Amino acid sequence: MSTLTQQEFVLGLFEAAPATYSSLRQLGKESFYAQGLPALKAEEYKFTPIAKKLETSLTDFSPAKPVKISAEQVKSAVFAGFEGVVLVFSNGQYVPEYSTSAEGLSVRLLSENESTPLGSIAKVDKDPFVALNQATFSDGLHIGIEKNKEIDSPILLLQFHQAQGGQVISPRIWIEAGDFSKATFIDYQISLDDAPYFVNKVVEIKGGVNADLTYHSLQTAHNQVIEVSNVVTDIQKDSQFTSTQITLSGDMVRNNLTLNLLGSNSVGNMYGIYLLNGKTHVDNHTNVDHTIPHAESNELYKGILADQSRGVFNGKIFVRQIAQKTNAFQQNNNILLSDDAIINTKPQLEIWADDVKCSHGCTVGQLDEEALFYLQARGIDKTTAKGLLLYAFAGEVLDKIEVDSLRNHIVAQIQERLGSKF
Amino acid sequence: MLSIKNLHASIEGTPILRGINLEVKAGEVHAIMGPNGSGKSTLASVLAGREEYEVTEGQVLFQGKELLELSPEDRAREGVFLAFQYPIEIPGVSTTNFLRTALNQVREYRGLEPLDAVKFLSLMKEKMALVEIDQKLLSRSLNEGFSGGEKKRNEIFQMAMLEPVLSILDETDSGLDIDALRIVSNGVNKLKSEKTATIVVTHYQRLLDYIVPDFVHVLYKGRIVKSGTKELALELEEKGYDWIKEEVDSTATV
pLDDT at A3: 46
pLDDT at A1: 35
Query: For residue A392, what is the nearest residue in chain B, using CA coordinates?
Result: B92
Query: Tens digits of per-residue pLDDT, B20-71?
Result: 999 999 999 999 998 888 999 999 999 999 989 999 999 999 999 999 999 9
Instruction: Determine, for residues A378 and B158 on separate chains, whether the beta-carbon distance falls below 8 Å.
Output: yes
Q: Which residues pair with B18 in a beta bridge?
A: B8
Residues from chain B that touch A369, judged by Cβ atoms under 8 A, are 51
The upper half-sphere exposure of residue A419, i.e. CA atoms within 13 Å in the direction of its Cβ, equals: 6
Q: Which residues pair with A144 in a beta bridge?
A: A106, A176
Query: Tens digits of per-residue pLDDT, B123-140?
Result: 999 999 888 888 888 888
CA distance B158 to B168: 13
Query: Tens digits of per-residue pLDDT, A214-251?
Result: 999 999 999 999 999 999 999 999 999 999 999 999 99
DSSP per-residue codes, A24-77: HHHHHHHHHHHH-SPPTT-GGGTT--HHHHHHHH-S--SBPPP----HHHHHHH
Residue B134, number of CB atoms within 10 A of its CB: 11
Inform me whether the C-beta atom of residue B224 falls under 8 Å from chain A C-beta atoms.
no
Residue B213 C-alpha, separation from nearest chain A C-alpha, in angstroms? 25
Confirm if A180 and A208 have CB atoms less than 8 A apart: yes
Query: For residue B164, what is the nearest residue in chain A, using CA coordinates?
Result: A378
Plot region of A81 (φ>0 → left; ψ -120 to 50 → alpha; else → beta): left
CA distance A397 to A271: 6
Q: Is the pTM of this model over 0.90?
A: no
Residue A39 C-alpha, separation from nearest chain B C-alpha, in angstroms? 41
Residues 347-376 on A with a CB inside 8 Å of B are 368-371, 373-376
Residues 6 or more apart whose CB falls under 8 angstroms from that of B123 comprise B115, B161
Confirm if B88 and B143 have CB atoms less than 8 A apart: yes
Query: Tens digits of per-residue pLDDT, A345-355?
Result: 999 999 999 99
Query: Tens digits of per-residue pLDDT, A99-135?
Result: 999 999 999 999 998 999 999 999 999 999 999 999 9
Mean pLDDT, chain A, whole residue set: 93
Instruction: Determine, for residues A377 and B72 on separate chains, whether the beta-carbon distance falls below 8 Å.
Output: yes
Instruction: Determine, for residues A382 and B71 on separate chains, whether the beta-carbon distance falls below 8 Å.
Output: yes
CA distance B220 to B241: 9
Instruction: Determine, for residues A371 and B90 on separate chains, whether the beta-carbon distance falls below 8 Å.
Output: yes
Q: Of the candidates A131, A200, A192, which has an alpha carbon nearest to the alpha carbon of residue A172?
A: A200
Residue A165 has pLDDT above 80, yes or no: no
ipTM comes to 0.94
pLDDT at A416: 85
Inform me whether the C-beta atom of residue A389 falls under 8 Å from chain B C-beta atoms.
yes
DSSP 3-state percent helix, strand, coil across chain A (nearest 5): 25, 40, 35
Residue B182 C-alpha, separation from nearest chain A C-alpha, in angstroms? 24
- Considering only CB atoms, B93 lies closest to which of A373, A382, A392, namely A392
Mutate to test the interface with B, among A302, A373, A393 (most CBs of B within 10 A): A373
Average pLDDT over residues A259-284: 97
Q: How confident is the model at residue B253 (pLDDT cuts 50, 70, 90)?
A: low
Residue B254 has pLDDT above 70, yes or no: no
Residue B234 has pLDDT above 80, yes or no: yes
The upper half-sphere exposure of residue B131, i.e. CA atoms within 13 Å in the direction of its Cβ, equals: 28
Inform me whether the C-beta atom of residue B114 falls under 8 Å from chain A C-beta atoms.
no
Q: How confident is the model at residue A56 (pLDDT cuts 50, 70, 90)?
A: confident
Tally A–B CB contacts below 8 A.
75
Q: How confident is the model at residue A2 (pLDDT cuts 50, 70, 90)?
A: very low
Confirm if A130 and A160 have CB atoms less than 8 A apart: no
Average pLDDT over residues A396-400: 92
Residue B217 C-alpha, separation from nearest chain A C-alpha, in angstroms? 25
Q: When comparing pLDDT for B36 and A179, which is higher?
A: A179
Instruction: Determine, for residues A374 and B87 on separate chains, whether the beta-carbon distance falls below 8 Å.
Output: yes
Mutate to test the interface with A, among B78, B90, B168 (most CBs of A within 10 A): B90
Query: Tens digits of per-residue pLDDT, A61-106?
Result: 889 999 999 999 999 999 999 999 999 999 999 999 999 999 999 9
Instruction: Determine, for residues B73 and A379 on separate chains, whether the beta-carbon distance falls below 8 Å.
Output: yes
∠ CA(B166), CA(A368), CA(B177), 5° rounding? 55
Instruction: Determine, for residues A388 and B82 on separate chains, whether the beta-carbon distance falls below 8 Å.
Output: no
DSSP 3-state percent helix, strand, coil across chain B (nearest 5): 45, 30, 30
Inform me whether the C-beta atom of residue B103 falls under 8 Å from chain A C-beta atoms.
yes
Helix segments in A112-243, DSSP class H: 128-136
